[in-house]
Amino acid sequence: MASPSSGTQTHFRACNLCEAMCGVRIEVENGRITSIRGDEEDPFSRGHICPKAVALKELHEDPERLRQPMRRTAQGWVPVSWEEALDETARRLHELQSTQGRDSVAVYLGNPTVHNVGAMLFVPQLLRTLRTRNSYSATSVDQLPHLLASHLMFGHQLLVPIPDLDRTGYLLALGANPLASNGSMMTAPDVRARLRGIQQRGGRVVVVDPRRTETARIADEHLFIRPGTDALFLFAVLHELLQRPRLERLAAFTEGLETVRELAREFTPERAAGPTGVPAETIRRIAREFAEAPSAVCYGRVGTSTQAFGGLCQWLIHVINVVSGNLDREGGAMFTRPAFDLVGGPKALSSSRGGFGRWKSRVRGLPEFAGELPVAALAEEILTEGQGQIRALVTFAGNPVLSTPNGGQLDKALASLDFMVSIDPYLNETTRHAHLILPPPSPLERAHYDVAFHALAIRDTARYAPALFEPPPSVMHDWRILLELKHRLGVLRHGSSVKGTLSYQALKRLGPEGLLDVGLRAGPYGIRTRGFRKGLSLSALKRAPHGVDLGPLKPSLPQRLFTPDKRIQLAPTVFVEDVKRLREAFPEDAAPLGSGELLLIGRRHLRDNNSWMHNVPMLMTGKPRCTLMMHPEDAKALGLGEGDEAVVASRVGQVSVPVNVTDEVMRGVVSLPHGYGHRRHGVKLSVAEKHAGVSLNDLTDDQHLDALCGNAAFSGVPVRVTRAVPHS
Ligand SMILES: Nc1nc2c(c(=O)[nH]1)N[C@H]1C(S)=C(S)[C@@H](COP(=O)(O)OP(=O)(O)OC[C@H]3O[C@@H](n4cnc5c(=O)[nH]c(N)nc54)[C@H](O)[C@@H]3O)O[C@H]1N2
Ligand SMILES: Nc1nc2c(c(=O)[nH]1)N[C@H]1C(S)=C(S)[C@@H](COP(=O)(O)OP(=O)(O)OC[C@H]3O[C@@H](n4cnc5c(=O)[nH]c(N)nc54)[C@H](O)[C@@H]3O)O[C@H]1N2
Ligand code: SF4
Ligand SMILES: [Mo]
């Protein structure tokens, strides 16, 4: 650990900002960072980084990052002691739960939770204590359909097949732009080089996206697709593949092929062509290429997940990989065997397998998944009176005002809460509503291990780094905040007990690193296996500061399946029944779309990270990024030119934003990035405010969901665009 007096030193760690886990090399002189570069010796990322890694310095030094607990008062924000803040939080939550019921307290967990080992290991502790059904997270604006498909087909929500990028001969990617996002549910540092690798091996990369993205531009082929219609495209590809299914060794443990065949019969390429905008002969050719490639993988990400048929999309993607014999084989979609195994590790450190529809949200009846409810229901659960109404909210590493559908409504709802506490380093659009903000240290002030992303990586690797700097005593680690709250709630509820005190003391002593060590030792490369000389443990990882390579992904089925009969469920009832909805949404004789309405989609930029990195000056240089991309023909029809201010209106709200005329987006589609909209009263992000932009989620609709699972349907929100009336 670097202390202000320790002279020059070099520190190695993995960047925590996105899913790519790039190795970074940080030089520190007299307690200050002097350089951040890629770690050439990291066997996985081989020196690759993106501009955000360099921004870790400004993030660490950001004067507006909170460094002590704050209380909102009529006179503004004032510092409070940790003791007071934690006691008060626990007391308020306990009072509400004991008078209004457990569910009166809600929790929202945001994306950085998953990038934080302490949070990953201690969030479940607090949730188990609160035991509220009002548990929400960024999952339901993101990968919920992926988890649902894995739960229903493979028996565990986190048993997610990953594209074997380095060995595949054909990548069919839908709704993903890894050149901007750096890959998701596919941890692959330097994805550009890896896609080139496919091409150099003589393989092909095909991108299906309503926008000709950075990834589409380097692909061998790009197909424009109308937002929200991917399920039809996938069904049509499947229809073709089913003429000659090749399950090969998967046939011995796969259930439901006949059902799938029945369902796919009507979804011909001709049927898909009208609604998707992809010609039938193109779909046929893609299916043929996919079938004939030495190995192939179909991969879909956010664009195919956050849409009205997100569940069906993720299911169909797996079915395509299975019936072409590409699941669990080299170059196809494979399962990881991570050193810290949330799927098959010790029970106390493992994630739940999932669970679907065991309860419903109070107001709208949206289904639970894996213990949580869709966040699109959060605002109405706060605003609708009656038994079970939410009166208090804990936000943890989340900014749902900017990141969830109809964020404007949630913004209002949060102001009506009896109590809100935010565990967060910033005073932003969401946390400004809190009564108390409890700030954790900067990412460089904590140890790092990617519990989640090693499990989603295209190679089995493991990498640990200790904290680079000692956190100031005025902040508290995320895990410690969670543990302190859990302990206080326990005492308030049951009085202090020997058992409670011992468990608190033990967890405090172990901390995330202790738990990590237990998980590593109990994992597949731990003491129990022979291959590793002494087995993988925390101390072994400490001796390997660049990380260890555990090899390419290996076939692991049927052993690794968690279904009761250890068989792949190709046709789970939940999906089979949802096909009816698809059929009805796109009746066979439907006229092609294009009635003058525009369909809104989102986008990501390499220099953004959801909503929370806009206060970092070095990432905010260059042209403004929060613009409405619009096709030249659409712009012409509306009398809009480059840079003109346009008003975009949806059912739930409207924003005013400059237009970027470009044929990158297909006709009838407009695109706006998410995570902007920082000019709100009381936000303390002065750099972000200068690049405020507008919030995409002031337009997206809390009623426009994947009706199957309640995941937000961000893709294809109908909007009207008009020219803004200039101010006189
Ligand atoms: N329209 C539209 N909306 C979207 C998306 C989209 O594509 N289109 N994408 C969705 C997706 S995929 C996601 S994941 C969500 C993200 O949604 P959220 O997770 O709600 O939002 P973030 O912008 O990631 O906000 C992260 C918050 O965590 C805080 N934070 C950062 N690091 C830490 C830490 O170490 N500890 C703690 N306690 N707090 C920390 C930040 O200050 C910030 O307040 O947005 C979703 N919203
Ligand atoms: N730089 C940067 N990196 C990030 C993030 C970030 O905010 N910035 N966020 C991180 C997070 S939380 C996540 S979840 C990942 C997401 O990683 P990706 O899934 O790769 O994210 P996007 O870049 O949003 O790519 C989604 C693509 O889907 C397309 N799309 C929209 N609607 C449809 C549709 O109906 N059908 C099809 N086929 N495509 C559609 C969009 O045009 C877009 O190109 O990125 C992570 N990495
Ligand atoms: S690609 Fe992701 S992990 Fe790699 S340096 Fe950039 S933000 Fe960090
Ligand atoms: Mo995400």
Whole-number Å distance between alpha carbons of 241 and 298: 13
Q: Across the chain, how many H-helices and E-strands are there?
A: 23, 30
Q: What is the pLDDT of residue 725?
A: 83
Q: How many angstroms is it from 14 CA to the middle of ligand 3?
A: 9
> Considering only CA atoms, which residue is closest to atom 17 of ligand 1?
403
- With cut-offs at 50, 70 and 90, classify the pLDDT of residue 172: very high
CB 23 within 8 Å of CB 42: yes
> Considering only CA atoms, which residue is closest to atom 44 of ligand 2?
177
The model's pLDDT over 466-512, given as tens digits with 9 standing for 90+, comes to: 999 999 999 999 999 999 999 999 999 999 999 999 999 999 999 99
Record the tokens describing residue 386, joined without a space.
């009656």
Q: Does residue 184 line the site of ligand 2, with CB under 6 A?
A: yes
CA-CA-CA-CA torsion sign (19, 20, 22, 28): negative
Q: Does residue 49 line the site of ligand 3, with CB under 6 A?
A: yes
Q: Does residue 399 line the site of ligand 1, with CB under 6 A?
A: yes
- With cut-offs at 50, 70 and 90, classify the pLDDT of residue 533: low
> Considering only CA atoms, which residue is closest to atom 28 of ligand 1?
397
Q: How many angstroms is it from 179 CA to the middle of ligand 2?
A: 10
Q: What is the mean pLDDT of residues 679-683?
A: 95
Whole-number Å distance between alpha carbons of 455 and 120: 13
CB 296 within 8 Å of CB 334: no
Phi/psi for 568 (5° steps) reads -75, 130
Return the CATH fold of 8-61. Phosphorylase Kinase; domain 1 (3.30.200)
Phi/psi for 553 (5° steps) reads -65, 145
Burial readout 414-438 (b: 16 or more C-beta within 10 A, e: otherwise): beebebbbbbbbbbbbbbbbbbbbb
Residue 46: helix, strand or coil by DSSP? coil
Q: What is the pLDDT of residue 703?
A: 98
The model's pLDDT over 9-27, given as tens digits with 9 standing for 90+, comes to: 999 999 999 999 999 999 9
Residue 3 has pLDDT above 60, yes or no: no
Q: Which helix (H) or strand (E) holds 654?
A: strand 654-661
Whole-number Å distance between alpha carbons of 123 and 120: 6
Q: How many angstroms is it from 194 CA to the middle of ligand 2?
A: 18
Q: How many angstroms is it from 344 CA to the middle of ligand 4?
A: 24
- With cut-offs at 50, 70 and 90, classify the pLDDT of residue 712: very high
Burial of 474 (0-12, 13-18, 19+ CB in 10 A): middle
Q: CB-based contacts of 258: which residues, under 8 Å, 6+ apart?
A: none
**Residue extents of the structural domains in the chain:** 8-61, 72-136+367-452+465-546, 164-329+559-581, 591-723
First to last CA, the chain: 58
Q: What is the mean pLDDT of residues 618-645?
A: 97
Least Cα distance to 296 among 369, 338, 237, 252 occurs for 237
Least Cα distance to 153 among 456, 555, 455, 572 occurs for 572
> Considering only CA atoms, which residue is closest to atom 31 of ligand 2?
303
- Nearest atom in ligand 3 to 21's CA: 3
Whole-number Å distance between alpha carbons of 408 and 385: 19
Q: Which numbered ligand comes closest to the C-alpha of 109?
A: 1
CB 472 within 8 Å of CB 179: no
The model's pLDDT over 68-126, given as tens digits with 9 standing for 90+, comes to: 999 999 999 999 999 999 999 999 999 999 999 999 999 999 999 999 999 999 999 99
Q: What is the pLDDT of residue 591?
A: 55
Tell me what percent of the residues of the chain surpass a pLDDT of 70.
97
The model's pLDDT over 132-154, given as tens digits with 9 standing for 90+, comes to: 999 999 999 999 999 999 999 99
Please, what is the Cα angle at 153 between 147 and 159, to 5 degrees?
Answer: 50
Q: What is the mean pLDDT of residues 151-173?
A: 98
Whole-number Å distance between alpha carbons of 540 and 512: 16
Q: What is the pLDDT of residue 6?
A: 60
Q: What is the pLDDT of residue 446?
A: 98
Return the CATH fold of 72-136+367-452+465-546. Rossmann fold (3.40.50)
Residue 519 has pLDDT above 70, yes or no: yes
Residue 476: helix, strand or coil by DSSP? coil
Whole-number Å distance between alpha carbons of 695 and 404: 10
Residue 594 has pLDDT above 90, yes or no: no
Least Cα distance to 121 among 394, 342, 440, 372 occurs for 342
Q: Does residue 108 line the site of ligand 1, with CB under 6 A?
A: no
Class of domain 164-329+559-581 (CATH, top level):
alpha beta
DSSP sequence for 358-412: EEE-TTT-PEEETTB--GGGHHHHHHS-STT---EEEEES--HHHHSTTHHHHHH
Please, what is the Cα angle at 406 between 403 and 412, to 5 degrees?
Answer: 95
Q: What number of other Cβ atoms are within 10 A of residue 564's Cβ?
A: 8
Q: Which helix (H) or strand (E) holds 259?
A: helix 257-264
Least Cα distance to 419 among 430, 434, 402 occurs for 434
Q: How many angstroms is it from 642 CA to the middle of ligand 3?
A: 32
Q: Which residues are registered as beta bridge partners of 718?
A: 599
Record the tokens describing residue 88, joined without a space.
């008060």
- Nearest atom in ligand 3 to 51's CA: 6
Q: What is the pLDDT of residue 491?
A: 97
Whole-number Å distance between alpha carbons of 528 and 295: 34
Burial of 522 (0-12, 13-18, 19+ CB in 10 A): middle
CA 693 to chain centre: 22
Residue 119: helix, strand or coil by DSSP? helix
Residue 590 has pLDDT above 90, yes or no: no
Q: What number of other Cβ atoms are within 10 A of residue 60's Cβ?
A: 19
Q: Does residue 398 line the site of ligand 1, with CB under 6 A?
A: yes
Q: CB-based contacts of 123: which residues, under 8 Å, 6+ apart?
A: 109, 113, 396, 482
Whole-number Å distance between alpha carbons of 665 and 643: 16
- Nearest atom in ligand 2 to 138's CA: 12
Q: What is the mean pLDDT of residues 234-246?
A: 98
For the CA atoms of 514, 516, 517, 518, what is the dihedral angle to 10 degrees?
90
- With cut-offs at 50, 70 and 90, classify the pLDDT of residue 529: low
Burial of 672 (0-12, 13-18, 19+ CB in 10 A): buried
Q: Does residue 376 line the site of ligand 1, with CB under 6 A?
A: no
- Nearest atom in ligand 3 to 56's CA: 8
- Nearest atom in ligand 1 to 431's CA: 44
Residue 595 has pLDDT above 80, yes or no: no
Whole-number Å distance between alpha carbons of 232 and 85: 52
> Considering only CA atoms, which residue is closest to atom 6 of ligand 2?
609
Least Cα distance to 542 among 470, 612, 448 occurs for 448
Return the CATH fold of 591-723. Barwin-like endoglucanases (2.40.40)
The model's pLDDT over 257-273, given as tens digits with 9 standing for 90+, comes to: 999 999 999 999 999 99
Which whole-number Å values give the CA distances from 107 to 268, 348, 375, in the listed order?
A: 44, 21, 10
Q: How many angstroms is it from 603 CA to the middle of ligand 4?
A: 12
Q: How many angstroms is it from 181 CA to the middle of ligand 4?
A: 10
Whole-number Å distance between alpha carbons of 688 and 96: 35
- With cut-offs at 50, 70 and 90, classify the pLDDT of residue 528: low
The model's pLDDT over 650-669, given as tens digits with 9 standing for 90+, comes to: 999 999 999 999 999 999 99
- Nearest atom in ligand 1 to 696's CA: 1
Least Cα distance to 356 among 164, 151, 159 occurs for 151
- With cut-offs at 50, 70 and 90, classify the pLDDT of residue 597: confident
Q: How many CA atoms lie within 13 A of 655 on its CB side?
A: 27
Lowest mean pLDDT among 424-428, 523-527, 567-571: 523-527
Q: How many angstroms is it from 728 CA to the middle of ligand 4?
A: 41
Mutation test residue for ligand 1: of 610, 657, 670, 711, the one with most atoms within 8 Å of CB: 610
Q: How many angstroms is it from 146 CA to the middle of ligand 2?
A: 14
Q: Does residue 397 line the site of ligand 1, with CB under 6 A?
A: yes
DSSP sequence for 563-595: STTS-EESS-HHHHHHHHHHHHHS-TTPPPS-S
- With cut-offs at 50, 70 and 90, classify the pLDDT of residue 726: confident
Q: Does residue 214 line the site of ligand 2, with CB under 6 A?
A: no
Q: Is beta strand 392-396 parallel, antiparallel or unpaired with respect to 105-109?
A: parallel
- Nearest atom in ligand 3 to 24's CA: 5
Q: What is the mean pLDDT of the chain?
A: 96
Whole-number Å distance between alpha carbons of 398 and 108: 7
Q: Which residues are registered as beta bridge partners of 600?
A: 670, 717
Whole-number Å distance between alpha carbons of 149 and 569: 10
